[in-house]
C-alpha cells in the first residue's frame, strides 16, 4: 500500500514537472519568436522598396531588368551562401547548450573561410550575368540591364553572408531584440539611399535603376557593422569570440560545416528554384501570359511576406531544439518540437484565414491593372491552403536543422517539388486548363507531400542518439582545437569554464537561455576528466 502511494506521488510529481517544463518552453519560445519574425518582416521591406522605386522612376526595361537581375542574383548567388550558413543552425545552439561558447567564434570564422572561397566563382558568374542571360534567350536589352543590376548587387554578398553567420550566434544566445533595431536602421538607410540614388541627382554618379542595388549593398554594410558593434560594446563578444583562429584549425572541420551547410543549401535552393520555375511557367500560360506573370508576382510577394513570420518560428524551433540537445536533455528537445509545431499550425491557419478573407483587397496593394488583380484574386484560395502546409514545413525544417538532420529536408524538398509538385502544377495549369490556379494548386500538392514526409521524419527521430551526437560533435571540435599549441590554452580554458557558468543577462531575451543552462549544467556530469584535460 505504501509503495503504491509512493508510486502515485512520484507520478504526480513527474506530471507537475512536465507541465512546468512545458510552460517554461512556451514562454521561452514566444520570447524568441516574435523579435525574429519581426526582424524578418522588416528585412523584407527593402525588396519591396527597390521594386517600387524602380517601377516609379524608371522605364519598363529597367523594371524588367531589375526583376530579372534580382531573380538571377537570388538563384546563382544569395541562396547558395545563405544555405551554407544553415550549418550554424546546428552548430551554434548545440555548442551553447553544451556550454562551449568559444566554439561559436571558430564556427563563424570557418564559415567565413568557406564562403570566402565560394565568393570567387559566384562573383565570376555574376560579372557575366548579362551574357549568360542572353544565352538563355532573354531579350538583349533586358539581359543587359539585368547584368548591370547583378554586378552592382555583388558587393552586398559578403555582408549578407557575414551578417547571417553572426546573427545565428545572437539567436543561439537568445539575444534577439537588438536585431529588430538593427533591421530598422538597415531598412531606413536602404529606403533613403534607394530614393536618393534612383530618383534624384543628389549624387554625381548617374546610377539610374542600379541605384537600388547599390542602396542594398550599403544597407547590408550598415546592418553588419551595427551587429558587430553591438556584440563588441555589449560584452557579448567576450563570451564567444576567441580571437583570430589559425588557418590550420579552421580547415580541420570544414567537412562537417560543408556536410551540414551543403544539405541546408540544397533544401533552400530546391525551394527557391521551384518558385522561379513557376514564374517561367506563368509566362507560358495561354491567352494572357503578361497578366499571369503579373498575377504570379503578386501571389509570390504575398507568400514571401507571410513567410517572414514563419521564418521566425523556424529559427526559434532550431535554436530551442539545438540548445536542448547540446545540454543533453532529450525531453526538453521533444517539448521544444511540440511547442514549435503547435505554434506553426496556429500561424499557418491564421495566415490562411487572413489571405482568404482579404482576397479581394490584397492584390490591389501590389498591382494597379484590373486584369492582374482579378487573376490574382481567383488564385488566392489556393494560396490560402498553401499557407498551412508552408508553416508546417518551415518549422519542421527548423527542427531538423537544430537536430543536425539537414539532409532530410533536402531530399524531401527535392522529391516533393520536382517529383510531385511541379509535374502536378503543369498538368493542372496546362492539361486541365486551370492556368495560374493550377500552378499554385500543384505547388500546394507538393507541400502536402513534403508535410507528410517531414512529419514521419520527426516521428522517427532517435532523440538519445541525437543527444550523443550533439555532445560528441562539440567535444570533438574542442579536442581538435586543443591540439594547436598556440591557441589551446586560452580557447580550451574558456571552453571548459563556460561549461559550468551561465551567460550574463545582456537583456530580457537571454533570461530563459540562462535558466536553461543553470538547470541543465548538472547534466554535464558525464564530461569526464580526460575531456576537460584536452579542452
Helices (H), 251-369: 254-282, 289-326, 330-357
Nearest to 285 by CA among 423, 439, 413: 439
Structure confidence at residue 133 (pLDDT): 85
Average pLDDT of the segment spanning 138-167? 90
Rounded Cα distance between 19 and 21, Å, is 5
Which range, 25-34, 63-72, 452-461, has the best average confidence (pLDDT)? Answer: 452-461
In the numeric block, the cell 551578417 is attached to: 163
Task: Write the CA distances from 445 to 197, 218, 359, 420, 513, integer angstroms.
Answer: 43, 40, 21, 7, 38
pLDDT band at 364 (very low <50, low <70, confident <90, very high): confident
Of the listed ranges 135-144, 173-182, 298-307, 477-486, the least confidently predicted one is 477-486
* Domain range summary for the chain, segments of one domain joined by +: 25-252+487-512, 263-461
- Tell me the pTM: 0.79
In the numeric block, the cell 518549422 is attached to: 395
Nearest to 160 by CA among 46, 87, 81: 81
Q: What is the pLDDT of residues 190-213, one digit of tens each?
A: 999 998 888 877 765 667 888 899
End-to-end CA distance of the chain, in Å?
A: 51
pLDDT band at 79 (very low <50, low <70, confident <90, very high): confident
Half-sphere exposure of 351 (CA within 13 A, CB side): 26
Structure confidence at residue 525 (pLDDT): 39
Rounded Cα distance between 311 and 39, Å, is 10
Task: Write the CA distances from 61 to 66, 142, 508, integer angstroms.
Answer: 8, 6, 49
What the block records as the C-alpha cell of 165 is 553567420
H/E segment holding residue 234: none
Q: Name the burial class of residue 259, with classes exposed (0-12), middle (13-18) and buried (19+) by CB atoms within 10 angstroms of its CB.
A: middle
Kindly state the percentage of the chain with pLDDT values over 90: 42
In the numeric block, the cell 538547470 is attached to: 519
Half-sphere exposure of 220 (CA within 13 A, CB side): 22
Q: What is the pLDDT of residues 224-283, one digit of tens each?
A: 999 999 999 998 988 999 888 888 888 888 988 999 999 989 988 898 888 888 877 887
Tell whether the torsion through CA atoms of 428, 434, 439 and 444 is positive or negative.
negative
Q: What is the pLDDT of residues 2-46, one digit of tens each?
A: 555 544 444 444 455 556 778 888 888 888 888 888 888 888 888
pLDDT band at 138 (very low <50, low <70, confident <90, very high): confident
Nearest to 37 by CA among 298, 317, 226, 232: 317
What the block records as the C-alpha cell of 309 is 513570420
Q: What is the pLDDT of residues 472-527, one digit of tens each?
A: 887 776 666 665 545 555 554 444 433 333 333 334 445 444 444 444 443 433 33
Task: Write the CA distances from 291 to 46, 282, 436, integer angstroms.
Answer: 25, 9, 10
H/E segment holding residue 361: none
Amino acid at each position: 500500500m505504501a509503495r503504491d502511494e509512493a508510486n502515485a506521488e512520484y507520478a504526480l510529481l513527474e506530471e507537475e514537472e512536465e507541465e512546468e517544463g512545458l510552460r517554461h518552453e512556451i514562454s521561452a519560445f514566444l520570447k524568441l519568436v516574435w523579435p525574429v519574425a519581426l526582424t524578418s518582416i522588416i528585412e523584407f521591406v527593402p525588396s519591396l522598396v527597390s521594386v517600387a522605386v524602380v517601377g516609379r522612376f524608371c522605364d519598363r526595361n529597367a523594371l524588367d531588368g531589375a526583376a530579372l537581375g534580382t531573380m538571377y542574383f537570388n538563384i546563382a548567388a544569395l541562396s547558395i551562401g545563405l544555405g551554407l550558413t544553415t550549418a550554424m543552425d546546428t552548430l551554434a545552439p548545440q555548442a551553447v547548450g553544451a556550454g562551449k561558447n568559444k566554439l561559436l567564434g571558430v564556427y563563424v570564422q570557418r564559415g567565413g573561410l568557406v564562403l570566402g572561397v565560394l565568393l570567387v566563382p559566384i562573383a565570376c558568374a555574376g560579372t557575366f550575368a548579362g551574357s549568360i542571360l542572353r544565352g538563355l534567350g532573354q531579350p538583349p536589352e533586358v539581359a543587359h540591364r539585368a547584368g548591370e543590376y547583378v554586378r552592382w548587387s555583388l558587393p552586398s554578398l559578403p555582408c549578407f553572408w557575414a551578417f547571417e553567420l553572426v546573427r545565428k550566434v545572437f539567436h543561439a544566445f537568445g539575444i534577439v531584440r537588438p536585431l529588430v533595431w538593427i533591421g530598422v536602421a538597415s531598412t531606413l538607410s536602404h529606403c533613403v539611399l534607394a530614393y536618393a540614388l534612383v530618383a534624384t541627382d543628389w549624387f554625381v554618379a548617374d546610377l539610374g535603376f542600379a541605384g537600388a542595388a547599390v542602396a542594398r549593398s550599403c544597407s547590408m554594410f550598415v546592418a553588419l557593422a551595427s551587429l558587430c558593434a553591438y556584440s563588441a560594446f555589449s560584452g557579448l563578444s567576450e563570451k564567444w569570440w576567441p580571437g583570430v583562429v589559425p588557418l590550420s584549425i579552421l580547415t580541420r572541420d570544414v567537412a562537417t560545416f560543408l556536410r551540414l551547410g551543403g544539405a541546408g543549401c540544397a533544401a533552400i535552393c530546391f525551394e527557391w528554384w521551384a518558385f522561379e520555375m513557376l514564374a517561367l511557367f506563368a509566362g507560358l500560360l495561354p491567352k494572357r501570359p503578361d497578366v499571369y506573370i503579373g498575377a504570379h508576382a503578386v501571389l509570390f510577394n504575398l507568400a514571401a511576406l507571410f513567410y517572414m513570420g514563419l521564418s521566425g518560428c523556424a529559427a526559434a524551433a532550431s535554436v530551442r531544439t539545438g540548445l536542448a540537445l547540446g545540454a543533453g536533455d532529450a525531453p526538453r528537445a521533444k517539448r521544444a518540437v511540440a511547442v514549435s509545431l503547435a505554434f506553426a499550425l496556429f500561424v499557418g491557419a491564421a495566415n490562411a484565414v487572413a489571405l482568404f478573407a482579404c482576397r479581394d483587397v490584397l492584390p490591389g496593394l501590389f498591382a494597379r491593372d484590373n486584369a492582374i488583380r482579378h487573376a490574382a484574386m481567383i488564385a488566392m484560395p489556393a494560396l490560402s491552403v498553401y499557407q498551412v502546409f508552408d508553416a508546417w514545413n518551415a518549422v519542421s525544417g527548423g527542427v531538423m536543422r537544430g537536430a543536425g538532420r539537414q539532409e532530410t529536408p533536402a531530399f524531401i524538398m527535392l522529391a516533393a517539388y520536382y517529383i510531385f509538385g511541379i509535374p502536378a502544377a503543369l498538368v493542372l495549369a496546362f492539361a486541365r486548363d486551370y492556368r495560374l490556379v493550377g500552378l499554385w494548386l500543384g505547388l500546394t500538392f507538393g507541400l502536402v507531400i513534403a508535410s507528410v514526409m517531414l512529419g514521419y521524419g520527426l516521428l522517427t527521430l532517435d532523440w538519445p542518439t541525437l543527444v550523443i551526437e550533439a555532445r560528441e560533435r562539440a567535444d570533438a571540435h574542442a579536442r581538435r582545437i586543443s591540439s594547436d599549441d598556440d591557441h589551446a590554452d586560452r580557447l580550451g580554458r574558456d571552453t571548459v569554464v563556460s561549461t559550468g557558468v551561465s551567460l550574463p543577462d545582456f537583456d530580457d531575451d537571454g533570461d530563459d537561455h540562462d535558466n536553461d543552462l543553470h538547470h541543465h549544467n548538472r547534466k554535464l556530469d558525464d564530461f569526464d576528466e580526460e575531456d576537460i584535460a584536452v579542452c
